[in-house]
Amino acid sequence: MTTDAELRSAQAEGYATVLENDITMENNTTVVDGVPTQIKNIPTYNSVYGNGHTISAEKGRLVGKTEPVFQVNADDVVISNITIRPNEFEEDGADGGDMSIEDASQFDNGYCVRYNINERLKTTGETGITQIKGGRIEYSVLENASTLIQVSGAEVEIEGCIMRNTGGVGIHVRNTYERVQHYNNLTLTNSIMSNMVGTSINFDYNNASYTETADTRSTFTQKGFLDIYNWQDVNALSLIDKDSIASNLGPLIDIATGILGSALNTPEFSYIVKHYNGVAYVHFGFVSTGIGEESYLEPHGSCFEENGRMTEINTDMIDAFKDDIPLLQYPIRVWCYLSSETDIQPGSTYTVNTRFIDRLHQA
């Protein structure tokens, strides 16, 4: 495939596609004076092999905040060896690999990949399907987006990927009910996440009709390594992208973040607070927001074992939350690196070189 049009046509016919060069997405919607001015997603029905190339869109051209580059509407779709960039960005020499958090905060629209069972059912007219199965993103770079990936009623494994530069959270896992229960099974293997205004992942439980049982349960599994670069100043915390939760609950996040910051400055939480250059930092790895509904998340993997690098804190551990029952019906849960973490420090970065790439591909 050499153009946006060729890629769309092949996917519409259900063919696996291979990029022969970098592709810039073309305007195809929101017609003004007879000319399209924005971009809708590529409905994706078969695998996409990037061959080391990039697919990108001009900054701000995707039609909405949650509009993805690839909208996956089939099982067993593999997205491989590609850079997906919903917002092209060059300013003062910065590119996708050398960007400040202030630069990343500008990305307020566009996803890289979206798995949404409700969208699939509406698009294809299928019935009797309750989950998108066998989704896989491998050995790719996903960057410059409001959120990189939405998982909503899907089984997805992400392996050997660099995920970076978001105006919100990195991955939004929607455990909800729309037509069907949106159960999710997310696996991250040998992946790196960095430069995100929110946390790397938000596991969102926010719908009274969503239920879980022992047999139907959303899961998160970590394999190999998961490096998350997200140490935050305790006095300037960014917990999640408020647009990834119900709009009426956004103000609660502001209140909760303020209370949490105050609590973290006490000795009780010294085991997760690291002091660096005179500033107190806490690492926010990922969050599960059971604000309107209970969070059932039970992550699995070496990070969460007894001597693993991550631990869970939640708002039930803080008196200010317990004393203000109307504030949160269910706790906000956050998984953090311990203060004893040595590999990734406040201010740490990484260099993409041969050794780095080999690590992403390790068995």
Report the DSSP pairing between strands 35-38 and 29-32. antiparallel
Please report the pLDDT score of residue 155 as a whole number.
97
d(CA 329, CA 275): 33
Three-class DSSP labels, 59-94? CCCECCCCCEEEEECCCCCEEECCEEECCCCCECCE
Answer whether 124's CB lies under 8 Å from 162's CB: no
Q: 122: number of CA atoms within 13 Å, CB side?
A: 10
- Cβ within 8 Å of residue 106, ≥6 positions away: 89, 167
Please report the pLDDT score of residue 96 as a whole number.
47
Please report the pLDDT score of residue 98 as a whole number.
61
Number of domains forming the structure of the chain: 1
Give the structural domain span for 215.
Answer: 4-360
d(CA 361, CA 140): 11
Please report the pLDDT score of residue 152 as a whole number.
95
Please report the pLDDT score of residue 240 as a whole number.
66
Answer whether 312's CB lies under 8 Å from 303's CB: no
d(CA 328, CA 315): 9
Mean pLDDT (10-residue bins), the chain, 363 residues: 97 98 95 92 98 96 94 98 93 57 89 97 94 97 96 97 94 90 95 92 83 81 95 84 60 76 90 93 88 81 92 87 64 91 90 91 82
d(CA 43, CA 29): 14
Q: Which of 50, 67, 155, 56 is nearest to 114 (CA)?
A: 67
Q: Is 265 left (phi over 0), alpha (psi -120 to 50) or beta?
A: alpha
d(CA 360, CA 138): 10
β strands within 14-67, DSSP E: 17-18, 23-24, 29-32, 35-38, 42-44, 48-49, 54-56
- What tokens were used for 82? 């590609």
